[in-house]
């Protein structure tokens, strides 16, 4: 055990003195030391219940013969950070979370870790840390929010965002807007649709790092407290058998995650996070693999914002294991690989029935024969860009229109709010990438404003930034190379015709190569927007969106 090196022997008497100061008994010091990474805080709705899960995990660890020790991890609420400078600090926390967890773990000699994340960057950040340190670890998330109800219909957070646009367009009254405000987020938990937080918690289950139900059991259910106790108990089995994250998060596990990403219709942010987690695990994922898997993986679920169902519905339909079992009828999963249950994927999903074929479509009757996410390439995005295909209106899967070019989210919002965007337009928002932002802001406000004005089936939005999992419509993000490094998106001029063919995975500016080269010679880099503090350091080190926006330490 790693903790023996800091506790056992006469030379470690000073260390034991400090443990005594913490109130540890000799008996506790003889047991495996289990770090419990608590993401509890009082500003993120998905994290306000985590204190209860921490206590449940501690009980589970103690019942199974370990000594639990709690330390914190930060988390940003993307919804609260949305639409202002705070969103620059969202993606960048992924690396802060990974780094600070590594520091705490390695400094204190933990034998195993129970990670308790929930929201958008918190889950991938802790997965990155687990893969990097490679000591036994298991995840139990805070769980999803229950859906709200407005006018007799289930709704999620995205409905509140789109209601703002509808109100600005005169489509709903202020009282109706207030009703959305008050009823879309009725409980604690990560927002109730298949947004980024729930996408990553579901994929944690697929990767084999969380127990059954981790992605779907609602935050307010007592079942989640029982799950937390079982996670606390299960970490002791992983420690005793020395089953580590890299034994679980293999190349085959990431292929399973990408396959299920397509089947579930997860957030496009998964296309940033899975490569970054894989990088820490020593596994290379390029986005070509995503399209190859998407081509043969049917999309079985349409959860909000793509459709009417919510996480609670998926949970009642059988959860992630039921979707995996359904997909595996086509033989698309690696089933002989290890998971945190101590069993293989195949053993885990065996007999997990699809209890509602309206929520989880059978493979014989999918929403589409191809996956929920598509990776596009062309002269607009030579290195790739990403779209949540399952959330695009059918009439927008192929589209041509004039570019409306903006160098910031704020400029685009001004144009949308002043009715300067019309049917057929292709809104370009650039210099919002990992370096250019810096921080690769999410563009939920512009897409929600477009949807709220009834333009979702006629207007596309393209950015080197990214999108919230709550986004729907022809929203194409992660354009690489980004504008700040001279990517072709920086060369687009107002009125250029943009050609989008999502089904063919193509995206192009309809100008000649010669014209693009002429424009490149005339292009000059913009001065960095932020030159001090963490964001400046991040901008100096971060790589492109198509590589997962990982940090290049060189």
Residues taking part in catalysis:
468
Q: What is the C-alpha end-to-end distance of the chain, expressed in Å?
A: 33
**Hey, is 35 helix, strand or coil?**
strand
Do 502 and 405 touch, CB atoms closer than 8 A? no
**Hey, is 11 helix, strand or coil?**
helix
Element (H, E) at 175: helix 174-183
| Structure tokens belonging to residue 486 | 């001279």
- Spatial distance between the Cα atoms of 373 and 465, rounded to a whole number of angstroms: 17
- Spatial distance between the Cα atoms of 279 and 546, rounded to a whole number of angstroms: 13
Residue 517, burial from CB neighbour count under 10 angstroms (0-12, 13-18, 19+) = exposed
Angle at the Cα of 319 (from 314 to 323), degrees rounded to 5?
Answer: 95
**Hey, is 302 helix, strand or coil?**
coil
Q: For the residues of 91-157, what is the DSSP string, one character each?
A: TTHHHHHHHHHHHHHHHHT-SEEEEE--STTHHHHHHHHHHHH-S-EEE----BPPPEEETTEEE-H
Q: For the residues of 394-442, what is the DSSP string, one character each?
A: GGGSEEEEEEEEESSHHHHHHHHHTT---TT-EEEE-S-STTTTTS--B
Provide the 8-state DSSP code for 528.
Answer: P
Of 262, 258, 293, 296, the closest CA to residue 277 belongs to 258
Element (H, E) at 497: strand 497-501
Q: At what angle do helices 157-168 and 444-452 cross, to 10 degrees?
A: 60
- Strand-strand pairing, 475-480 and 497-501: unpaired
Do 61 and 36 touch, CB atoms closer than 8 A? yes
What does the CA dihedral 311, 313, 316, 321 come to, rounded to 10 degrees? Answer: -50
- Which residues is 321 bridged to in the sheet? none
- Spatial distance between the Cα atoms of 140 and 39, rounded to a whole number of angstroms: 11
**Hey, is 221 helix, strand or coil?**
coil
- Spatial distance between the Cα atoms of 342 and 243, rounded to a whole number of angstroms: 8
Compute the Cα dihedral for 350, 351, 356, 362 and give only its sign: positive
Do 388 and 270 touch, CB atoms closer than 8 A? no
- Spatial distance between the Cα atoms of 477 and 375, rounded to a whole number of angstroms: 10
């Amino acid at each position: 055990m790693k903790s023996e090196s800091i506790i056992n022997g006469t030379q470690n008497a000073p260390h034991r003195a400090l443990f005594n100061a913490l109130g540890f008994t000799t008996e506790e010091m003889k047991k495996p030391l289990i770090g419990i990474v608590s993401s509890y805080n009082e500003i993120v709705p998905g994290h306000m219940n985590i204190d209860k899960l921490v206590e449940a995990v501690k009980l589970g660890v103690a019942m199974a013969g370990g000594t639990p020790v709690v330390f914190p991890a930060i988390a940003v609420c993307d919804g609260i950070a949305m639409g202002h400078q705070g969103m620059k600090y969202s993606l960048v926390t992924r690396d802060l979370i990974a780094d600070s967890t590594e520091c705490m773990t390695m400094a204190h000699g933990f034998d195993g870790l129970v990670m308790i994340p929930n929201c958008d960057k918190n889950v991938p950040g802790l997965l990155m840390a687990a893969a990097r340190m490679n000591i036994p670890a298991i995840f139990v998330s805070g769980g999803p929010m229950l859906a709200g109800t407005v006018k007799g219909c289930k709704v999620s957070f995205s409905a509140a965002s789109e209601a703002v646009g509808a109100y600005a367009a005169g489509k709903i009254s202020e009282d109706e807007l207030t009703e959305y405000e008050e009823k879309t987020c009725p409980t604690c938990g990560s927002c109730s649709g298949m947004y980024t937080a729930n996408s990553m918690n579901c994929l944690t289950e697929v990767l084999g790092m969380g127990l059954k139900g981790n992605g779907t059991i609602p935050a307010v259910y007592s079942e989640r407290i029982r799950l937390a106790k079982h996670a606390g108990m299960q970490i002791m089995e992983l420690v005793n058998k020395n089953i580590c994250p890299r034994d679980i998060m293999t190349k085959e596990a990431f292929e399973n995650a990408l396959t299920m990403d397509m089947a579930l219709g997860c957030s496009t942010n998964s296309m940033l996070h899975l490569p970054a987690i894989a990088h820490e695990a020593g596994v290379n994922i390029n986005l070509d693999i995503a399209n190859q898997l998407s081509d043969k993986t049917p999309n079985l679920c349409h959860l909000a914002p793509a459709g009417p169902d919510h996480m609670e519905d998926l949970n009642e339909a059988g959860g992630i294991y039921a979707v995996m079992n359904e997909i595996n009828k086509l033989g698309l999963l690696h089933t002989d690989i290890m998971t945190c249950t101590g069993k293989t994927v195949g053993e885990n999903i065996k007999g997990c029935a699809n209890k509602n074929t309206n929520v989880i479509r059978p493979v014989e009757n999918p929403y589409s024969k191809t996956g929920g996410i598509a990776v596009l390439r062309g002269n607009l995005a030579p290195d790739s860009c990403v779209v949540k295909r399952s959330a695009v209106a059918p009439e927008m899967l192929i589209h041509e229109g004039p570019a409306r070019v903006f160098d910031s989210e704020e400029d685009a919002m001004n144009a949308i709010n002043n009715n300067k965007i019309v049917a057929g337009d292709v809104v370009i928002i650039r210099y919002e990438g990992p370096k250019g932002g810096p921080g690769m802001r999410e563009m939920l406000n512009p897409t929600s404003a477009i949807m709220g004005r009834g333009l979702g089936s006629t207007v596309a939005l393209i950015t080197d930034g990214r999108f919230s999992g709550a986004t729907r419509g022809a929203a194409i993000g992660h354009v690489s190379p980004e504008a700040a490094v001279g990517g072709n998106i920086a060369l687009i001029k107002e009125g250029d015709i943009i050609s989008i063919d999502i089904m063919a995975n193509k995206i192009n500016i309809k100008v000649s190569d010669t014209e693009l080269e002429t424009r490149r010679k005339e292009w000059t880099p913009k001065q960095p927007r932020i030159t001090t503090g963490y964001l400046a350091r991040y901008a100096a080190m971060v790589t492109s969106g198509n590589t997962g926006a990982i940090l290049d330490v060189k």
